Chains A and B, each alone.
Chain A
Amino acid sequence: NAGVMQNPRHLVRRRGQEARLRCSPMKGHSHVYWYRQLPEEGLKFMVYLQKENIIDESGMPKERFSAEFPKEGPSILRIQQVVRGDSAAYFCATRRGEAEKLFFGSGTQLSVL
């Protein structure tokens, strides 16, 4: 059973471009969380999705950021018109049910030039 897969591992974008980060949950996991981490800091919650539904997006910036978890395929975190301040490591975590253990992917390191 493969773990949580995130791709790409590294993504370089120029200011103004779009970044699309993908997260494939473990088999049977329908709950997906996205977190952002700056160097030497903890993880900041962004959004929680449960198959096709956004449950909590209280940590997501109101503009330029969006997330989806379609019925088929990976969860996508999309950042439009990236700025240098978007540079960070983005992690997704998934679990089977609400009280289940959370498993993290290895993250996508986004660098905005």
Chain B
Amino acid sequence: TQLLEQSPQFLSIQEGENLTVYCNSSSVFSSLQWYRQEPGEGPVLLVTVVTGGEVKKLKRLTFQFGDARKDSSLHITAAQTGDTGLYLCAGAPQGAQKLVFGQGTRLTINP
């Protein structure tokens, strides 16, 4: 069973469109993180959300942490071809010191 479920698993859209990626769980997390991974490289941290209801913006990317700290979303406005990649959410279950990952969303932005 997957502790963190990401949806959709694959998303292909045209440049300029908006999109939202979801990360859901039935468990409460002390924090959730979003990573982006390029082929042949390790994941790189984009953002960490800690407080329930928190919203963080990184240029055209908006990250939200659910009020109950069980889910998160990543919204990209006016997607660009450079946004293409694998987006992973990850969280530390309460009481645990390890980070668990969702299965990822493979995003392709077409010119």
Establish whether residues B104 and A56, one from each chain, have CB atoms under 8 Å apart when the complex forms: no
Q: Contacts A40-B104, A42-B102; is A56 near B97 (CB within 8 Å)?
A: yes
Q: How far is the CA of A101 from the CA of B50 in the complex (A)?
A: 13
Instruction: Say yes or no: A104 contacts B44, CB within 8 Å.
Output: yes
Inter-subunit contact A104/B43 (CB<8 Å)? yes
User: Contacts A40-B106, A42-B104 given: A107-B97 contact, CB under 8 Å?
Assistant: no
Within 8 A of A (CB), among B19-53: 40-45, 48
Q: How many residue pairs, one in A and one in B, have C-beta atoms under 8 Å apart?
A: 52
Chain A residues positioned under 8 Å from B107 (CB to CB) = none
Contact yes or no, A42 B45, CB < 8 A: no
- For chain A, give the interface size range: 20 to 34
Task: Select which of A44, A98, A107, A109 is within 8 A of B101 by beta carbon.
Answer: A44
Q: For the complex, what is the distance from the CA of A58 to the CA of B99, rounded to whole Å?
A: 12
Interface pair B42/A91, CB less than 8 Å apart:
yes
Q: Taking CB as reference atom, which chain B residue is nearest A6? A: B42
Kindly identify which residue among A43, A56, A58 contacts B43, using a CB–CB cutoff of 8 Å: A43
For residue B79, CB closer than 8 A to chain A, the reply is: no
Q: How far is the CB of A111 from chain B (nearest CB, A)?
A: 14
B88: interface (CB < 8 Å): yes
Residues in A neighbouring B42, C-beta threshold 8 A? 4, 91, 93, 104-107
In the assembled complex, A69 has its CB within 8 A of some CB on chain B: no
Q: Is B84 an interface residue (CB 8 A)?
A: no
Across the two chains, which residue of chain A brings its CB closest to B35?
A: A104
Task: Tell me which residues across on chain A come within 8 A of B99, comparing CB atoms.
Answer: 33, 45, 93, 102
Given contacts A33-B99, A48-B97, contact A102 B45 (CB under 8 A): yes
Interface residues of A (CB under 8 A from B): 4, 33, 35, 40-45, 48, 55-56, 58-59, 91, 93, 98, 101-102, 104-107, 109
Which 10 A-B residue pairings sit nearest by Cβ, starting from the closest? A104-B42, A42-B101, A42-B103, A43-B101, A42-B104, A45-B98, A91-B42, A48-B98, A104-B43, A42-B102
What are 15 A-B pairs at a CB distance below 8 A? A40-B104, A40-B106, A42-B4, A42-B88, A43-B43, A43-B90, A45-B100, A48-B97, A56-B96, A58-B98, A91-B43, A93-B42, A101-B45, A107-B41, A107-B42
